[in-house]
Chains A and B, each alone.
Chain A
Amino acid sequence: MDVSTGADCDLALWREQALAFEREVGKVVLGQERVIRLLTIAVFARGHVLLEGDVGVGKTTLLKAMARAIGGAYARVEGTIDLMPTDLVYDARIADDGRPRIDPGPLLKRGGDLSIFFFNEINRARPQVHSLLLRLMAEGTVSAFGREEHFPHLQLFADRNRVEREETFELPAAARDRFFMEVQVATPADREARRALIFDPRFHDTERLISEVAEGLLDHRRLGEIARRIQEAIHASPTIADYTIALWDAVRAPHKAGITLPDVRMERLVQGGASPRGLSFLVRAARVRAWLEGRDMIVPEDLRAVFPEVMAHRIFLDPVYEMRRDTLAPALCRAAFDTVPVP
């Protein structure tokens, strides 16, 4: 069914803009259609995203392109082992007159208009920084200069690479649970895209490449409102609710759902997790996907399309299996969808 009827006309218009936004980002980031679709869903669900992947696959380029296309202020911080929360909030330096000065840091410099905050290499930062981010993500506020700063339009993107583990701090479960999605960015599989990325000089100069992206395609001040309206407009039937709960059960107790994975003791595999917040995020993401697909109802395909990214990082595996998370978590998600009957 088409959403472009009656009062939903505005939503239909926004859908066109969202698809245009996807196309625009897709022009400079090749072979990552699925990642772009997921990030678009995150933008319209107002969720924070953690990107994971190898070095040099284009995570930063992708986020820069998105920030430019969304419009609004953009700030970026590199995570290091000696970075402290105050370094995000304040800018302490010696001024021209030789006296120490404390100015607003990267977070505060642009005030409440900040639309994208990009935290590079988040796992290199200390837990103190993680807790600041936790609050920023949960409440959209930071305390500074004796008052509370609000960031109503802020969306946080973070990335980390999984290659190095020295001098890193694993994100606490609470912080990971607050991320709307954890998206894996892989090297493009498409041969043509890879050839272009290597040989086309257009992709060698990232700054120039990013400047090709049209600026401010979406009005970042209205994103929150549109996200709310999407959530209200997309219908979820009792059947899909039952199905979602059955999926939840299957992931929490896979052995009871009859799921088996090779070389895994299913009753030990999952220790916990898959929180209610995670499930609500899942439905939020599914609604946005349904809207992007031009439907006014959630169908199981919507859940399946966003499930690994929204749910996998919330499932806590037994330590024995934790090292195999990269293969086990997606396999468990896939098995759940292969097992739970629809409808």
Chain B
Amino acid sequence: MRCSTISRAARLVLRASFARAGARFAQRHSTAFALALLLAMPAAEASEVQLQAPRAFGYVVGDTLTLEADIRLDPGARLDPASLPQPRKVSSWLDLVSVEITPPLGAVPAGAYRLRMTYQSFFSALEPRSLEIPPWPLTIRDGEARRTLSVPAFRFVVSPLRELVPSHGGNPMALQPDILPAPAPLGPDMKKAGLSAAVAALAALGLALAQGWRPFASGRRPLAAAAREIQRRRAEETPQAYRDALVTLHRAFDASAGRRLLKEDLGAFLEEAPALAPEREDIERLFGASRTAFFGAGIPAARSELPYADLVALSGRLARAERQMPRAALQGTVEEAP
């Protein structure tokens, strides 16, 4: 457009000089002059806007249209950010909903941009009708020079939502039934949930095994089971509770050793189960107290040797020490003997 303006100016200049100078001279030189003028002009014709438009028909009230304009600039030219359209109400039936430019207009000027404008049409047509989204001028700066590039207008056809005259009778203004919601695709989520549940269950199982929780306690972590039983009754300060605690611990040691364990066997047993060796002194005290309780002076004397609180604490320490024992050491059961 600018190019044609300049050509016209060149032609006027030519005509004036033609009038002033001799016709022959002018005729001989006019082509060269025009050529010189044309060559002197910057290569402005390179800048252009190309509209990537969607389909131009089949829109109803409320539909959005996205126009994409590819802008190519001359080297050195810059797009004026102030000339970009802003989301706004364009007309009574058209809104510009969003504007997006890539790459963003920043400090580094780019040679090409893509301007993406989303319009929404609110035109409620009674019959198919052509409408126009108006053009939009963009300002290009090249040094001091300013030019205008226009995003072209776009015509499209809007259609009515309903028949003008109902063909089957009834109220044309009646509300249509809602669209049934489509089931959300849950497959991948269900898979992930199932996997997580499996991992959680495995972890819980591992923890239960490691801690000797019920029902994994039976036999495999006998000292842990004994400690739980003793802890449960630690509030009872009766001789019977003390006696039962001793018996419970004896059974746990029996299960641990795979045979009935007597005081004289402790040395050999602690060599088999080195995890318990740090408690050797207290284990010997326990067996000593048990001897006193069952075979000697009785439970009161045993309680002065090993008070109930110490017994309860020892059972807890033994259960903790037992966790260090390898599984193989816990496989033996009394039933398998000898």
Name A residues whose Cβ lies closer than 8 Å to a Cβ of B.
1, 235-237, 239-240, 258, 261, 296-301, 304, 331, 334-335, 337-343
**Nearest B-chain residue to A238, judged by Cβ:** B294
Complex interface: chain A residues within 8 A of B246 (CB): 343
Do B250 and A331 have beta carbons less than 8 Å apart?
no
**Does B195 have its Cβ within 8 Å of any Cβ on chain A?**
no
Do A299 and B260 have beta carbons less than 8 Å apart?
no
Distance, CA A297 to CA B294, complexed state (A):
10
Complex interface: chain B residues within 8 A of A337 (CB): 259-260
Nearest 6 CB-CB pairs, A to B? A338-B337, A343-B294, A338-B259, A239-B294, A301-B264, A297-B296
Complex interface: chain A residues within 8 A of B296 (CB): 1, 235, 237, 296-297
**Does B56 have its Cβ within 8 Å of any Cβ on chain A?**
no
Name B residues whose Cβ lies closer than 8 Å to a Cβ of A.
246-247, 250-251, 254, 259-260, 262-264, 290-291, 294-297, 334-335, 337-338
Contacts A235-B296, A299-B295 given; indicate if A343 touches B247 (C-beta within 8 A). Answer: yes
Distance, CA A341 to CA B255, complexed state (A):
11
A268 → chain B, closest Cβ, in Å? 19
Do A237 and B262 have beta carbons less than 8 Å apart?
no
Complex interface: chain B residues within 8 A of A340 (CB): 260
Do B294 and A338 have beta carbons less than 8 Å apart?
no
**What are 18 A-B pairs with beta-carbon distances under 8 A?**
A1-B297, A235-B296, A239-B294, A240-B294, A261-B338, A299-B262, A299-B263, A299-B295, A301-B264, A335-B337, A338-B260, A338-B334, A338-B338, A341-B250, A342-B250, A343-B246, A343-B250, A343-B294
Distance, CA A304 to CA B297, complexed state (A):
21
Distance, CA A300 to CA B295, complexed state (A):
9
**Nearest A-chain residue to B261, judged by Cβ:** A342
Residue of B254, B291, B295 with most partner-chain A CB within 10 A: B295
**Nearest B-chain residue to A299, judged by Cβ:** B295
Do B251 and A341 have beta carbons less than 8 Å apart?
yes
Do B295 and A237 have beta carbons less than 8 Å apart?
yes
Do B294 and A339 have beta carbons less than 8 Å apart?
no
Complex interface: chain A residues within 8 A of B297 (CB): 1
How many contacts between A and B, using CB within 8 angstroms?
A: 57
Distance, CA A258 to CA B338, complexed state (A):
11
**Nearest A-chain residue to B337, judged by Cβ:** A338
Complex interface: chain B residues within 8 A of A300 (CB): 260, 262, 295
**Nearest B-chain residue to A335, judged by Cβ:** B338
Do B250 and A334 have beta carbons less than 8 Å apart?
no
B269 → chain A, closest Cβ, in Å? 13
Contacts A1-B296, A237-B296, A239-B295 given; indicate if A342 touches B260 (C-beta within 8 A). Answer: yes
Distance, CA A334 to CA B294, complexed state (A):
22
Do A339 and B264 have beta carbons less than 8 Å apart?
no
**Nearest B-chain residue to A334, judged by Cβ:** B338
**Nearest A-chain residue to B251, judged by Cβ:** A341
Complex interface: chain A residues within 8 A of B251 (CB): 341
Complex interface: chain A residues within 8 A of B335 (CB): 258
Distance, CA A147 to CA B19, complexed state (A):
188
Complex interface: chain B residues within 8 A of A240 (CB): 294-295
Complex interface: chain A residues within 8 A of B247 (CB): 343
**Nearest A-chain residue to B258, judged by Cβ:** A338
Contacts A337-B260, A340-B260, A343-B247 given; indicate if A297 touches B291 (C-beta within 8 A). Answer: yes
Distance, CA A239 to CA B337, complexed state (A):
23
**Nearest A-chain residue to B290, judged by Cβ:** A343
A282 → chain B, closest Cβ, in Å? 15
Do B250 and A339 have beta carbons less than 8 Å apart?
no
Do B262 and A304 have beta carbons less than 8 Å apart?
yes
Distance, CA A1 to CA B289, complexed state (A):
12
Complex interface: chain B residues within 8 A of A304 (CB): 262
**Nearest A-chain residue to B247, judged by Cβ:** A343
Residue of B254, B263, B337 with most partner-chain A CB within 10 A: B337
B243 → chain A, closest Cβ, in Å? 9
- Please name 15 further chain A to chain B contacts, defined as beta carbons within 8 Å, in addition to the given A297-B291, A301-B262, sorted by A numbering: A240-B294, A240-B295, A261-B338, A297-B296, A300-B260, A301-B264, A331-B338, A337-B259, A338-B337, A338-B338, A339-B337, A341-B250, A341-B260, A342-B250, A343-B295
Distance, CA A236 to CA B294, complexed state (A):
10
Complex interface: chain A residues within 8 A of B260 (CB): 300, 337-342
Distance, CA A297 to CA B334, complexed state (A):
27
B177 → chain A, closest Cβ, in Å? 77
Do A299 and B338 have beta carbons less than 8 Å apart?
no
B263 → chain A, closest Cβ, in Å? 7
Distance, CA A339 to CA B257, complexed state (A):
12
Distance, CA A236 to CA B296, complexed state (A):
8
A261 → chain B, closest Cβ, in Å? 8
Distance, CA A341 to CA B250, complexed state (A):
9
A330 → chain B, closest Cβ, in Å? 10
Distance, CA A341 to CA B246, complexed state (A):
13
A226 → chain B, closest Cβ, in Å? 23
Distance, CA A102 to CA B298, complexed state (A):
62
Do A342 and B259 have beta carbons less than 8 Å apart?
no
Complex interface: chain B residues within 8 A of A297 (CB): 291, 295-296
A263 → chain B, closest Cβ, in Å? 14
A187 → chain B, closest Cβ, in Å? 24
Distance, CA A337 to CA B262, complexed state (A):
10
The contact of A298 among B250, B259, B263, B295, by CB within 8 Å, is: B295
Distance, CA A229 to CA B247, complexed state (A):
32
A324 → chain B, closest Cβ, in Å? 16
B337 → chain A, closest Cβ, in Å? 4
Complex interface: chain B residues within 8 A of A296 (CB): 296
Distance, CA A239 to CA B254, complexed state (A):
18
**Nearest A-chain residue to B291, judged by Cβ:** A299
Residue of B264, B291, B294 with most partner-chain A CB within 10 A: B294
The contact of B263 among A235, A236, A301, A338, by CB within 8 Å, is: A301
Distance, CA A335 to CA B246, complexed state (A):
23
A244 → chain B, closest Cβ, in Å? 11
**Nearest A-chain residue to B298, judged by Cβ:** A237
Distance, CA A212 to CA B294, complexed state (A):
44
B295 → chain A, closest Cβ, in Å? 5
Distance, CA A335 to CA B258, complexed state (A):
12
